[in-house]
Chains A and B, each alone.
Chain A
């Protein structure tokens, strides 16, 4: 494979990001660790191998754009952005605290953040707008987005999906974090999403399904996506709470941090042993 991934380095970063997710939400006594742990590899890969961005010049007009449409996965995004050097890591401990930079859901006043999101189903439309602007301006940047599977309950996701296909936005590459869990429980018990790859394909997207925790599969999917015309949907099969045994596949940890120091240390040991 061309441009093969230096897996070790990425795996090291992903571990550090996971520890940060658990620590940030513990420190904040709130937040969304489950869906942050499930997107860790995707965000780590994008920021450390793929996105054409410059932490010293976060508003550079020709940069690639990234939209975290599942805007509650801020512990993952902010940890990745801080590791990448967009802002100081010490700010992570202010996450969700009064008068701090890092709000509970993603906001564009944070260096490195392109789009505000949090109310589900809005980020993908914003990504369509960013991708469309590149066409109007004849620029070559790409727009990457991550949406959640629970988020696909929102009708506006499908409005945006129609839009992206109609506009033939070849510069739009979207990951769907298929962790099978939303706030109240398992996605297929709450609102059957079924075969999302087939659904997006039928909406006019090029779609594929990968293991969202494998850097090699993420890398291959991104290279695959870059070659095809029209918008691309990468369904990333993931584990909610990945890396922390008591959080894995446990809906309880959608929006709840580890409860005490003992559990925090257990979580950090789990991550270290990954």
Chain B
């Protein structure tokens, strides 16, 4: 087991964090699309955390804080949407998808309502609040719902593009955001709905990552290159519908796949990739994620290191899968 500072989140990666968190990028993008009078935003007493408060300041007549009632919020959102409103609802991922699941299922998805759920504070990087607030099952919950599309940006710039995309297209959508500032991945607009983005090309193995883990995958790939392993890195910002072609191409061309996500290994990116691979081009897949456990309190990046959701975790997963013959 290698021990190297450069492969943990502390301190090197932290020094390269974006000036803006993805949730701040969400708030500022909401303000710019708020020019459209049909945009209505709801929040459930977390607006200063989700940054929908930025929209509230600019458009107080089209912002509604429903209080701590996520179920009611989803129903109100559905009702609003059926009058032609383009509705955004925000809360923490745990409440927006877990607490309100049946409302999302019936009033949003089954009713086919034009609603975008943009949830922040997903995953372990909630930090000190601990397991009660660290949502690790939301990608699974939302992906299982007919009509729902699931998006996870890797940085602030991609968040801006994704929020614009879901604004311009009819819901329902689920956009998964995190709490912390994250490293910058993009210096240009690269998001294409339903398409994996090749961050680094490679031949020996493909690392398919989403959200914060894209930055870790980049570092891991560069490290592996020094050891003679050519690791492709794909940013899978659209989890559903997943880019089957890119997954199959990766399986065919590199023969091994590692997935990395700040989510349970069940029903998240790793599961989706595995489904595509087993159906279309069976190769070995190693899933890096949270292994059937709850989170805990701690500093975000310390937790990510403890749970191996860091460059080292990815490097170790790659080395393990490299032992398997193609």
Contacts and interface: CB of A to CB of B under 8 A. Distances in A.
Interface of A: 61, 67, 107-108, 114-119, 121-134, 136-137, 155-156, 159-160, 162-163, 166-167
A132 B62 contact: no
Interface in B14-66: 40, 61-62, 64, 66
Given A119-B102, A163-B76, A125 B107 contact: yes
Contacts of A128: 72, 75-76, 79
Contacts of A133: 40, 79-80, 83-85
Given A122-B106, A123-B75, A136-B61, 11 more contacts: A107-B111, A108-B82, A115-B82, A125-B73, A126-B76, A128-B75, A129-B79, A132-B64, A136-B62, A156-B72, A160-B76
Contact of B76 (A61, A121, A129): A129
8 contacts: A119-B105, A125-B74, A125-B75, A128-B79, A129-B77, A130-B80, A132-B76, A137-B83
B69 A115 contact: no
B110 interface: yes
A160 B82 contact: no
A82 B90 CA distance: 39
Q: In the A-B complex, list the 3 residue pairs whose CB atoms are closest, starting with the nearest.
A: A129-B79, A125-B75, A116-B111
B316 interface: no
B9 interface: no
A70 B62 CA distance: 29
B232 to A, nearest CB: 43
Contacts of A156: 69, 71-72, 75, 103
Interface in B83-136: 83-85, 102-103, 105-107, 110-112
B146 interface: no
B107 A122 contact: yes
Per DSSP, chain B at the interface is: helix
Most buried by A among B40, B69, B74, B79: B79
Contacts of B103: 122, 125, 156
B275 to A, nearest CB: 28
Contacts of A127: 79
Contact of B82 (A121, A124, A125, A130): A130
A121 B75 CA distance: 9
A159 B105 CA distance: 18
B195 to A, nearest CB: 31
Contacts of B72: 125, 128, 156, 159-160, 162-163
Contact of A124 (B74, B75, B80, B105): B75
A60 to B, nearest CB: 12
Interface residues of B, number: 30
A193 B62 CA distance: 35
A66 to B, nearest CB: 12
A133 B160 CA distance: 27
Nearest to A137: B83
B78 A126 contact: yes
A129 B106 contact: no
A130 B83 contact: yes
Interface in B262-313: none
A109 to B, nearest CB: 8
Contacts of B79: 67, 115, 125-133
A37 to B, nearest CB: 25
Most buried by A among B61, B76, B102: B76
Contacts of A129: 75-82
B111 to A, nearest CB: 4
A61 B64 CA distance: 22
B67 interface: yes
A163 B69 contact: yes
A30 to B, nearest CB: 20
Nearest to B111: A116
B257 to A, nearest CB: 38
Contacts of B66: 159, 163
A67 B217 CA distance: 49
Nearest to B79: A129
Contact of A159 (B62, B71, B81, B106): B71
Most buried by A among B66, B75, B85: B75
Nearest to A139: B83
Nearest to B87: A129
Contact of A116 (B40, B102, B107): B107
A29 to B, nearest CB: 24
Contacts of A116: 78, 106-107, 110-111
A58 to B, nearest CB: 12
Contacts of B105: 119
Contacts of B112: 108
A123 B106 CA distance: 10
Nearest to A127: B79
Contacts of A124: 75
Contacts of A61: 83-84
B61 A159 contact: no
A108 B78 CA distance: 12
Contacts of A122: 71, 75, 102-103, 106-107
Contacts of A115: 78-79, 82, 111
A163 B78 contact: no
